[in-house]
Every structure is written in C-alpha cells, then in structure tokens.
A = this chain, B = another copy of it.
Amino acid sequence: MINKHYLQLADNYLFADIAHLVQAYKATHAKADVISLGIGDVTQPLVPAVVDALTAAAKEMGAEATFRGYGPERGYTFLREAIVAHDYRRHGIGITADEVFVSDGSKSDTGNFQELLSASCVVAVTDPVYPVYVDSNVMAGRRVVKLPCVAANGFSPAMPDEDVDVIYLCYPNNPTGCVLSRSELHAWVDYALAHEALILYDAAYEAFIQSSDIPHSIYEIPGAERCAVEFRSFSKTAGFTGLRCGYTVVPKALKVRNGRSRHKALSMNSLWLRRQCTKFNGCSYLSQRAAEATYSPEGRAQVRQRIAYYMDNARLIRETLTALGYEVHGGVDAPYLWVRTPGGMASWTFFDLLLHKARVVCTPGAGFGSCGEGYVRLTAFGRREQTMEALERIKGISI
C-alpha cells in the first residue's frame, strides 16, 4: 500500500542531524555560545519597503472593499509583471508574464516539478547537490545519475556519459558557491537541445552574483527557452525564508516528448499550470505584495544593501580562511563557501572539531553527496559580529 520508493530514501535529513548534534553539544556545555555558519537561513530583517507592503496588504484584507480571496492561478499580475520587467526584460530576455508561476518558494517547485515527468526518466544531478533534487526523484522511483564536481574539474560538472532525460543545475551553486561561466552554461544548453534533455535550472542565489560576466538567467543563452525551466526565489534575495515566495519560469516554447513520438510534443507550461491548479492554491497575497515591493526603487536599493552585507561576510570568511591556509572555493558570486578540510579530514570529523573547539557550526560536505567528502560548507548569512567572532575562534584552532 505504501509508496515503496520512500523506503529507498536515506534515513535522515542533513539539517535535522546537525540540529540534533548541536543540541546535544549545548546540553552538555551549558554556557557555550554556539555560532551557526551552517544552515543557509538569513539573519537580517525584512527591509522597510517589504514591511510597509505587508502592513498595507494586511489592512486591505481587513476591509470589505479591498479584501481578496483566492488569487489568480499563476500569481497576481502585478507581481508577474514586475518580475518580467526587472528580472528579464531589463536584461534583454523575452520572458512574458504568462510564463511565470508564482509559488510559495523554490523548494516546493524544484521538489514538485518532477511530477510532470515519467517515472522512467533518468535524472542527472551534480555531486555535491541540494538534497531535494535527489530525494524528490527517489520518491518517484527514478534513477539518479551523479555528475561529480570536484577540485579536478573546478567543481564544474562534466556532461553525462550516458543518456539522461533531466539535468538539475543550481548556479550560483549550493553548496559549493561556484558559478558557471557563460560558455559553460552555453555548453549545457547545447547539450540539452542536442539530446532532448530538460534542464531544471535553480537560480535561487542569482542576486548574489557580483562578477559582470556571469549569467543571471539561463535564458541569457539562446535556445534555453526550448530546453530549460528556471526557478527563482525571494528567500535569500530579500530574506523571505519565513514569508515564502518564489517563482518558476516555464517558457511556452518548451515542449516535451509524449513517449517516443516526436510529433506529439506537449507544452510544459500547460502541464505545470494543470499541476499547480490541481495541487496548489497560490501564495499568500501578503507575500506577493511583499515580493512586488522588492522591485520598487526603494525596495531594490534596500535589498541591494542586504546582499552587500552578506557578501561582505563572504569576503571576510574567504580572506580570513585563505590567510589561515585553508583552501576556499565560492563566496565570490554566491553566499556559500566550500572549504577543504585540513589534512584530508573527514567532513563530519571537521564538523565535530569546529563545534567542539570553536563552537562554530558548519555543514559537512558529505551531507551533500559523496563528492562533498573532505569539504564543509560555510554560509555568509550570519550576523556580521557573529561571523567575525566565528572567524576569530577558527583562528584559534591550529590546523
């Protein structure tokens, strides 16, 4: 009676495991002041433009004349138009509002999108990887192929050496903090078009890109609208992890084969609309107004400040650890830093060492896949003074 594929899942959940270990440490070290540079949650409050939008929307909802019930299926037009104007049209990309689906966050969307695909599809993911891509496909019984991202290939995955139907790419990357250059992303689009593969492109960390030559959207690459879905989120961009709002772009040009026939291609946009109409009822009106506010002139300026704050943390971590002799990747165009453990130490061992010697929580790389072994992930989402204190403590550990 049970979906037996659930039994193939790894027993535990990385961040729950970490939370339990930290809890156990705190229980036996009552006064210990533990600093988390582990789970990728933000610490800075919502910007004033967003708080104002939330307050105004709450007031609207309390008056009969301005109350709103169920929203439009794809999300409110005011938000989808703002998304299209600022995230695409401004960059010369021709995505339209009916190709945008507003949701309660990109974890839901990256987890649910695979439902549109046959259980027989072969799925490629990077290793290390955000666990949702793997688990959601394991739950559906699909075979998952790993594309190693290691120092030898500069953490940039090689093309699969077997036929795959779906490829998950996350850039800027979680957990390595690495990015794809335009030519690398171009190669993936060309590969997908040539092999009739679907790219599920998770750009949740797009706002952290600082280098001018790194693509912000896969749709900057010609042909991507025929092979790629893009996921975006307000979670990290504007601190919406507790508010919940993201969006997914499914271009109308994106068709997918119905079985072996090339002639019965189906529109992914229509299929996703059908899925969302059946199993989702929209994102909170307040969250949608809040998301809209991040595109106002004040909202954009305020959000840019938050991003700059976190990226200053990233720079501090990178510079300090590098000076200490650590090998550090990422943290330039992403809020994540991928740090090689000293002396080839196992990542959970280094996690324990950092927790016990520095009272700093990291995320062991092995939790993201076997190629993550030998690394830990640090995040730039801490408060400045805590991040600096954590670095001071790490300085005190001899490696």
Contact = CB atoms under 8 A, between A and B. Distances in A.
Contacts of A104: 104, 244, 280-281, 283-284
Q: Select the residue from A47, A258, A383 with max chain B CB neighbours within 10 A.
A: A258
Contacts of A4: 118, 258-259
B242 A69 contact: yes
Q: Select the residue from A70, A257, A287 with max chain B CB neighbours within 10 A.
A: A70
A330 to B, nearest CB: 21
Contact of A1 (B45, B55, B198): B198
Interface in A280-301: 280-287
Nearest to A5: B118
Interface residues of A, number: 80
Q: Select the residue from A69, A73, A243 with max chain B CB neighbours within 10 A.
A: A69
A68 interface: yes
A280 B117 contact: no
Given A1-B121, A280-B111, A51 B45 contact: no
11 contacts: A1-B256, A3-B118, A9-B274, A16-B277, A41-B70, A44-B67, A132-B279, A242-B282, A243-B285, A243-B286, A244-B283
A2 interface: yes
Contacts of A43: 64, 67, 69
Contact of A2 (B66, B70, B111, B256): B256
